[in-house]
Amino acid sequence: MLMSTVPSLAALSQKLTRLAVLSDEDRRAVLDLPVTLMTSRPGRCIVREGDKTDHVTVVRSGLAYSCKVAGDGGRMIVAFHMPGDIIGFHGVKPMVADCTVQGVSTCELAQVSRQDLVDLAATSPGITEALWRDREIEASILREWALNLGRRNARTRVAHLICELMVRQSVASMGYQSSFEFLVTQEQIGDALGLTAVHVNRTVQQLRRDGLIAGAGRVLVIPDWSSLAAAADFQPAYLHLPLDVPAAPAGARKSHHVSLAA
């Protein structure tokens, strides 16, 4: 058995495979896409608002976010990007980026020529379908985000964001992990939820007191998924997960956790 390094677009290939039925040839073509690899340190700009590039950027590892800023300087995070996500795919032709993308953590990225991607899609109905579906899911997440912002209080919003990131990260990494690496800053949570960092802090403490979340440092523990999901008003349908991807930790109604110094 040959040892092989992980292909640079493995995460993308896996994601597209989840979104549509791809042939082996499709998958190989994705993995063979010419790429420019790069690494981005936390906080550094991956895409800048106003950019108009003829490549797209694929997240290979790490976590990134898109944000916009209001006239008064208020920052709003409008999306988080996980491994396999395509950043800046605005269809066939490049468009002016309407938000800035930065890394939460160190990110490994791959730049892919938009034309290469478009050409590949043109030859493969499966990939075309997967790309459409991907965009549609992103829009659906954005709509749920709007609901979160407009019609839920801080406690529910924070819990909902945790649930969403938890499920998406689990799906992206193929399978639920017993613990959950959570590198998002409280200030970033606030920027994603339309709250101040101070209020996020108080809310997180409340969730902790209520036993809905636990954990120390960068590891988040969810003692009881169903309780958290209930508090979050979290219904994963909007993520349009394939039916064979469970929306909650398999079996584990309780005790979905790993002990860790509290």
Residues that bind its own copies (CB under 8 A): 20, 66, 68, 70-72, 74-76, 78-79, 90-93, 95-96, 98-99, 125, 128-129, 132-133, 135-136, 138-140, 142-147, 149-152, 191, 193-194, 233, 235, 237-238, 240
Q: Which residue type does 188 have?
A: Q
Tell me whether residue 12 is exposed, middle or buried, using C-beta atoms within 10 angstroms of its C-beta: 0 to 12, 13 to 18, 19 or more: buried
How many of the chain's residues bind DNA (CB under 7 A)? 19
Least distance in Å: CB of 196 to DNA?
Answer: 4
14 or 102: whose CB is closer to DNA? 102
Q: Answer for the pair 87, 47: CB distance below 8 angstroms, yes or no.
A: yes
For the chain, helix (H) and strand (E) counts, in that order, are 8, 10
- 3-class DSSP state of 171: helix
- Residue 203 C-alpha from the chain's centroid: 22
Alpha carbon dihedral 145, 93, 118, 67, in 10-degree steps, equals -30
Least distance in Å: CB of 162 to its own copies?
Answer: 16
Which residue has 């981005």 as its token pair? 40
Q: Which two tokens stand for residue 207?
A: 């969730």
d(CA 239, CA 251): 20
Partner interacting with residue 90 (select from DNA, its own copies, none; CB below 5-8 Å by kind): its own copies
d(CA 190, CA 82): 19
Partner interacting with residue 201 (select from its own copies, DNA, none; CB below 5-8 Å by kind): DNA
20 or 228: whose CB is closer to DNA? 228
d(CA 84, CA 13): 7
Q: Which residue type does 49 have?
A: E
Q: Does 41 bind DNA (CB under 7 A)?
A: no
Least distance in Å: CB of 2 to its own copies?
Answer: 36
Least distance in Å: CB of 177 to DNA?
Answer: 19
Q: Does 174 bind DNA (CB under 7 A)?
A: no
Q: Does 201 bind DNA (CB under 7 A)?
A: yes
Least distance in Å: CB of 76 to DNA?
Answer: 11
Partner interacting with residue 75 (select from its own copies, DNA, none; CB below 5-8 Å by kind): its own copies
Q: Does 75 bind DNA (CB under 7 A)?
A: no
Residues within the interface to DNA (CB under 7 A) = 153-155, 185-187, 190, 194-199, 201-205, 217
